[in-house]
Amino acid sequence: MDSVATAPPPPPAHVAIIMDGNGRWAKLRGLPRIAGHRRGAEAVRRTVQAAAEFGIGYLTLFGFSSENWKRPIGEVDDLMGLLRHYIRAEIAELHARGVRVRIIGERRRLAPDIVTLIDKAEALTGGNGGLRLTLALSYGGRAEIAAAARAIAQAAVQGRLAPEQVDEAVFARHLFTADMPDADLLIRTSGEQRISNFLLWQSAYAELVFTDTLWPDFGKADLEKALRDFHGRDRRYGASVGSR
């Protein structure tokens, strides 16, 4: 009897990645930290392409946290310069590949010229129907939740929303990710095993995968391995075995 080919399982709808290890990558090679960040930008390019090839609908990358502003001024300046270069150099190609780009986080803390570049990138790619690429910049999960709570409180004060109407769905609509599904898979590189204030609400039932690979070395094979790990999990969303 001829064997019947088994279709591969569908990819997770939303993959989120904490891109960690740029500094350690550079230190291991006796290079300045900015060299690690530059190689990290190359890893972003590889991972975005791989995610599209695997059919992932949403990819969210943690690029710069609210806490990263505490880093030395020189390093922050280097990172902002690299961000400017990435947006200018990559957006046209991403647009050509049908990728829709958006940025989440506290834009008011970013330089005005960077905000302008972000606005242009989002406007250019806003009609694309391919991979939804979200970059979390100047982002913190607690700050996002607090901002949502303030918006809901303001709506209640203005009479647009009654307190008894506030449920999980209403709260989610006030987050930066209101039009996105929750994260199915959250990956962190470099061996660290924490989520570091990233997508706290959206990762409530995400499968967590921690890899020792430093971010500048991350690529298609690493993403594929994480996807295999994801497909091997039994996702019960709080239900007991056999109840679903």
Pair of tokens at residue 9: 């399982």
Closest C-alpha among 63, 43, 47 to residue 15: 47
What DSSP element (H or E) covers 62?
strand 58-65
- The full length of the chain comes to 244
What's the DSSP call for residue 180?
S
How many CA atoms lie less than 13 Å away from 225 in the CB half-sphere? 13
Cα–Cα nearest to 199, from 134, 132, 119: 134
Catalytic residue among 2, 22, 68, 182: 68
User: Per the residue annotation, which of 20, 78, 184, 222 is the catalytic one?
Assistant: 20
The pair of structure tokens assigned to 16 is 């989120």
For this structure, is 68 an active site residue? yes
DSSP class of residue 193?
Answer: -
What positions carry a catalytic annotation?
A: 20, 68
